[in-house]
Structure formats: C-alpha cells, structure tokens
Amino acid sequence: MNAESEIVLQLSQISKRFGRLLANDQISLELRRGEVLALLGENGAGKTTLMNILFGHDVADSGTIALFGHPLKDHTPRSALAAGIGMVHQHFTLADNLTVLDNVILGTEPLWRPWQNRRAARDRLMQLSKNFGLSVRPDARIGDLSVGERQRVEILKALYREVKILILDEPTAVLTPQETEALFATLRKLTQSGLSIVFISHKLQEVMAVSDRVVVLRSGKVVATVQTAATSPAKLAELMVGQPLPKMQREAMTPGQPVLTLNKVTVTASDDRPLLENVDLRVREFEIVGIAGVSGNGQGTLFNLVSGLAAPTQGTIELYGKPIAAPSPLGMVQAKVARIPEDRHTTGLIPDMSIWENLILETHQEPGFSQHGLLKREAAHEYAADLIQSFDVRCPSPDAIVRLLSGGNMQKLILGRVLSRNPKLILASQPTRGLDLGAVTYVHQQLLNAKARGAAVLLISEDLEELLSLSDRLYVLSQGRISESLKPEAVSVRDLGLMMAGKPGQVTDAA
C-alpha cells in the first residue's frame, strides 16, 4: 500500500454512550485505498460499536464520518451497502429458513423483477467459494448449518456485493490454516485492485501477516496507531491490555484413570447419514485431550453425545469405567460433567435473564437454592456475588442482565458456573472463540487449573495454536471419522490443517 493513497474513509471524534457506559470516546481513524487496517482491543474496548456506527446499525452521539471525501449522514445498513461498505459480523445476520444461495443474493436484485437469474448467481457464488477456499452448499438451509459453515456464508455474502470497503470481524475463527492462507492471498489480490479492509481479530499473528497498519482501542479510546512492520505481537498485546500478559503455568502431569471412553461409537442422522463413524476416544484424569477439525465435521455431534443430548447408534460410552445405558443432560450434570458450549449467547446462557439466575440454571433445585419448591433468592444472590468476585466478572451487580455483558465476561460466567462445582469431566467447545488476549489467557489458565485438580478435559477447538499449547494428546475429526491419538509436539499447525481437510498427515500414537 502506498502511504500517499487516497483516503477512502475518515472517522473523526466519534463518541457513543449507552447509559452510563461510554463505548466510544472521541475516536478518530482513517482508511486508505488498498489498505488493510487492523482494529485491535479487548472485549468491550469499543470495536464492535464503532463498526456498527460505520455500517449504520448505530448512530453516533457526536463526530463525523466521511466516505470518499463525502460526509455520511443518517445512513443505514442499506445505504452503507449502496455506498460500497460491506460487513461480516461476528454474530451472524442470516435467515435460517432460507438456503445459502438465497441468503447471498437476498437484497441484490430489485423486488419488482419477475424472475431471478439463479444460475448465474450460483455460478458466481461457487467461483467465489473456490477462490476463497470457503466450501459451501448453495442449496443447504442456513438453519441446518454449523456455526463455521454460517460464517463462511457471511464472508461470501459480503464479497458477492463487490464492496469497496470490507469490514471483517473475526473472519478466520473457523478456517483451517490452509483456508486462512488462501483467504489472505485473496485479500491481498483484492487490495491490489483497490479494495480497502478493516480487519478485526484477536489473533495477533494474523494481524501481523495481513495488515498494513494497526489501531488499538482500550476503554473506548484510541491508545495507539502503528505501522505493522514497526511493531510485534508482544507490543500489540501490551497495548491492548495496558500491561504485559501473564504466562500460562502448565505442568507436565501423569494421567490417571479413564474418565470418558468411547468405544466404536457411530451416530447417524435421520437420513442415515453418519455424523460420527466408528469413533474410539479416551480422556483420563489430569489430562487435556484436544479435538481439531473444520466446523461441521462431527464436533457438534461429539459435544451433544457427551452432554447427553444425543445417543450412539452403535458402540458404547463409558463414564468412570461404567457404560452409560441412556445418556441424558440431567444425568450428565449429576455425574459431574461440566459443559462449556460453543455458542455462549444461545446455548450457554439465557441473555435476557440476570447473572444470578444464569449462575444457578443447573443447580436451582438443589437444597442450597430451593426449599419446598421455593427458590432461596438471598442464597442465590450470595452465591452469584462470590462467583463474580472469584472469576473476575466485570458487571454492576448479580442483578445485571447477561446480554449487557461483553463476550469475555459471559464466558467467565459460564466458567464460574461449571468449574465451581469441581467437575470430574469438562467438555469445552470453542471456549475462547471471539475473546481478547486477556480473556483467552484467563480461560486457558482455568482449564489448566482444573486439570491440575484431577479433572479430565475434552477440548474441542478450531484454534490450532490453542490446541497445541494446552493439549496433552490430540485427535482430528474429519467427515465424522477420528484420527489416531497424536502428540502435540510431534505435529505442526500445517500437519493438522491437512488432516482436517481429509488429507494424510503425520500421525503418532500417544494413547
């Protein structure tokens, strides 16, 4: 990118307040033609609010926005798209009852046109899919897709509109390393032709690899704007949190007795399609076992199986050495199985309920919180207050509504709810997705602490660096089939990426 390139976007003194919270405090930044500008900051630093203002979802209390030298006033998402601004949201904005193709072309053709050129649209979508390495099924219904597949559709939906400025919010969270490399290569081609990109990510190595400049936000303010070539991941991390990050304390431990064992387990869908096929898996005390794989390859089914939400079609599940005849969610909770679901907003928490209500969701019928069918609200409040303090949840009070919390604080709530009960088996799916570095470090340390206390941890993640740094052993899921047990020190990120894509990788038996 030429430093003298045309300024295509200029935000000046943008401020936005939500009640007592000042989300954006006089933020100014500019974006040049053909530039990739990375936007960094902790959860709650103001990144999403700023981008929502740019895209027309929110209106700034003060400040101005200029696009290609012209001021934007009273703009909406529709006018933002018309002006050439596209946004891929961290949380999806897709119609679940429509197909992938319908979602992509929705709003791109006049309503009065009596027909749609669906063949041309399909061809163009598949070409974009091929160029970006983002595999999609055009006729699949969005409601039937996994989280990862939906995010791929969001990226393609924006690119289909030939935007001039593209905002990407955590676009690589569900991609393999090879797919990420392909995406970055395509982004470089697009910027060479004049596309400008705002890239939001918590993965500092990606920021270093793809961006030209970095703007760092902290507590709603711009604290630094630096050239990427003149900084480092360590410096960026310190700018984000205001201090050096603590290092994880990981100790080598001898695994104990098997806690969870899957023997030749197969799970089939209603159409007899195998979701998991002949899976052998073992997780022991004092051990973290990682599961790698591209979203939609059986991880969700594995999570549901161990949670008691699904039953094997064939094979057996053993917990603490005893077969489970009829797994159920209540039975698993009572058996001290802790569940950290991948989507904290819809399956991990109830956003419209208070913090204290969410914290006792799995325990409200226990004697400590219930007597003669009546809820002990004072006891629940005291319990919630203790967990809020112990797990450093930033919130006004236990009565605060969960949806008003940042993603990191929501995740801390879930950790507090499940880890405070000293579980014997922790099932963690994407536990750090969308979290900033400080929150990621905190979550990782909590899982390591649980392991040190003797818990068995099954960690399902699409963040390969996370898996390699935390896991004692690894498996790869591809199309419902599981690999042999792998030693983290014997495989690379690239090896895992190849195996995730169904190609041969390096395999070392470590069971």
Task: Phi first, then psi: give them for residue 35, nearest 5 degrees.
Answer: -105, 145
Q: At which of 381, 406, 421 does a domain end?
A: 421
Assess if residue 15 is contained within a domain: yes
Q: What angle do CA 365, 368, 372 make, to 5 degrees?
A: 55
Count of C-beta atoms within a 10 Å radius of residue 386: 14
Assess if residue 447 is contained within a domain: yes
Q: What angle do CA 59, 61, 63 make, to 5 degrees?
A: 95
Q: Which regions in the chain score pLDDT beneath 50?
A: 506-511
- Residue 255 pLDDT: 94
| One domain, residues 230 and 111 | yes
Q: How many folded domains does the chain comprise?
A: 3
pLDDT in tens, 89-121: 766 788 999 999 999 998 776 655 656 678 899
Each as own residue / partner, the long-range contacts of residues 295-298 (CB below 8 Å, 24 or more positions apart, any chain) are 295/146, 295/147, 295/148, 295/149, 295/151, 295/174, 295/462, 296/145, 296/146, 296/148, 296/149, 297/477, 297/478, 297/479, 297/480, 297/500, 298/477, 298/479, 298/480, 298/481, 298/482
- Residue 111 pLDDT: 53
Task: Phi first, then psi: give them for residue 434, nearest 5 degrees.
Answer: 75, 10
| One domain, residues 364 and 476 | no
**Which amino acid is it at 117?**
N
- Residue 350 pLDDT: 92
Q: Tokens standing for 508?
A: 């070392």
| One domain, residues 415 and 479 | no
Q: Tokens standing for 242?
A: 């205001």
| One domain, residues 165 and 233 | yes
| One domain, residues 274 and 299 | yes
Q: Tokens standing for 33?
A: 């033609």
Assess if residue 261 is contained within a domain: yes
Three-class SS of residue 413? helix
Q: At which of 215, 241, 267 does a domain end?
A: 241
Assess if residue 342 is contained within a domain: no
Count of C-beta atoms within a 10 Å radius of residue 278: 15
Assess if residue 31 is contained within a domain: yes
Three-class SS of residue 218? strand
| One domain, residues 269 and 227 | no
| One domain, residues 482 and 412 | no
| One domain, residues 76 and 218 | yes
| One domain, residues 314 and 393 | no
- Any idea what the CATH number is for the domain that residue 224 is in? 3.40.50.300
Alpha-carbon torsion angle 252, 257, 262, 264, nearest 10? 100
Range of the domain at 397: 351-421
Q: What angle do CA 483, 484, 489 make, to 5 degrees?
A: 105
pTM listed for this prediction: 0.73
CA pair distance 291, 471, nearest whole angstrom: 9
Assess if residue 474 is contained within a domain: yes
Closest Cα to residue 167, out of 266, 23, 47?
47
Show Cβ contacts of residue 78 under 8 Å, excluding neighbours closer than 6 positions: 56, 107
Beta pairing, strands 456-460 & 287-292: parallel
Closest Cα to residue 215, out of 260, 255, 167?
167
| One domain, residues 472 and 403 | no
Three-class SS of residue 364? coil
In the numeric block, the tokens 């495989």 are attached to: 491
CA distances from 68 to 26, 164, 166, 454 (A): 21, 10, 14, 58
CA pair distance 227, 211, nearest whole angstrom: 9
CA pair distance 226, 20, nearest whole angstrom: 30
Q: At which of 359, 390, 421 does a domain end?
A: 421
Assess if residue 38 is contained within a domain: yes
Assess if residue 344 is contained within a domain: no
Q: Are 435 and 411 in contact (CB under 8 A)?
A: yes
Q: Could you say which DSSP state residue 116 is in?
A: -
270 by Cβ neighbours in 10 Å (0-12 / 13-18 / 19+) ranks as exposed
Closest Cα to residue 462, out of 293, 276, 298?
293
| One domain, residues 78 and 129 | yes
Q: Tokens standing for 359?
A: 């914290």
234 by Cβ neighbours in 10 Å (0-12 / 13-18 / 19+) ranks as exposed
3-state secondary structure 239-284: HHHCCCCCCCCCCCCCCCCEEEEEEEEEEECCCCCEEEEEEEEEEE
- Residue 510 pLDDT: 38
Q: Tokens standing for 483?
A: 């690999």
